[in-house]
Amino acid sequence: MTITRWLSRRSPWFLLASAGVVALVIGGGAFAGLKWTNTEAFCIGCHEMRDNVYVEYKDTPHDRNASGVRATCPDCHVPRDTGPLLIRKVEATGELWAKLTGKIDTPEKFEAHRYELAKSVWATMKRTDSRECRNCHSESAMSSELQSERAQTRHERAKRENLTCIECHFGIAHKEPEGPGPQEIDFSAE
C-alpha cells in the first residue's frame, strides 16, 4: 500500500491531529534547543570560551556582587525578545565556523582575534542601544541619589549626547583589548 493510498483512507481529522502532534514535537524541540543554548553551561561548554573570557568574567561584579544577582553569558549576549533572539541564534551559527576551523582554539589565537570579537559585540550593543544591559539595568529603576556625583554627571551627559551603556562601561566583565574602545569608533562607517 502506498503512502498516498494510506493517507486517502484516513479522515481529515486524523490527518489534522497528526499534523498538530508533529508541529508540537518540532516546536517543543526547537523551544528546548533555544532554552538549552541560553545557559551558561552551554556557553562555556567549549574550551575557547571557558578558558578565555569565562576566566576573566569570574569574580567581576557581573559574577559576584553584594546583591547576589548574577549575570551569565546569555544575559549580556543574547536578546530576550523572540525576534531579536532568533536573529542572534542565526548569527551565532556563523561563530560555529570559527570553532570548526580552529580560528580561536588556542589562547594565542584567541588573543589575536580578541579586538575583532570585542568590536563585533560593541557594534551590536551600539546598534541596539545596549538592549541586553538594559534588561537588568533599567534607567527608570536607577536611583541617581545612590550614585556618586561623578556617576550622576556622566549619566546626565550620556543622556544629552545619546550615548549608550557600552560607550563608558566596557571592559568590566572581560579584559579590554588593545585598540580604540567603543567610544572612539565610528560604527556607522562600518
pLDDT in tens, 4-46: 776 677 777 787 888 899 999 999 999 999 999 999 999 999 8
Per-residue pLDDT tens digits for 143-156? 888 999 999 999 99
Number of domains in the chain: 1
Residue 148, in any domain of the structure: yes
Report if residue 76 sits inside a domain.
yes
* Structural domain containing residue 140: 17-189
Question: For the CA atoms of 130, 135, 140, 146, what is the dihedral angle to 10 degrees?
Answer: -90
- How far is residue 152's CA from residue 145's CA, in Å, rounded to a whole number? 8
From the list 21, 37, 24, 26, the residue with the least C-alpha distance to 86 is 37
What average pLDDT does this structure show over 94-100? 85
3 assigned to some structural domain: no
φ/ψ bin of 59: left (φ > 0), alpha (ψ from -120 to 50), beta (otherwise): left
What is the DSSP annotation of 56-109? HHTTSTTTS-TT-----HHHHHS-SSHHHHHHHHHHHHHHHHHHHHTTT-SHHH
Q: Is residue 123 part of a domain?
A: yes
Residue 1 lies in a domain: no
Tell me, yes or no, whether 12 lies in a domain: no
The answer to whether position 2 is within a domain reads: no
**Interior angle at CA 142, CA 129 and CA 157, nearest 5:** 60
Report the CATH number that the domain containing residue 123 is assigned in CATH.
1.10.3820
State the pTM of this model: 0.81
Residue 4 in any domain: the answer is no
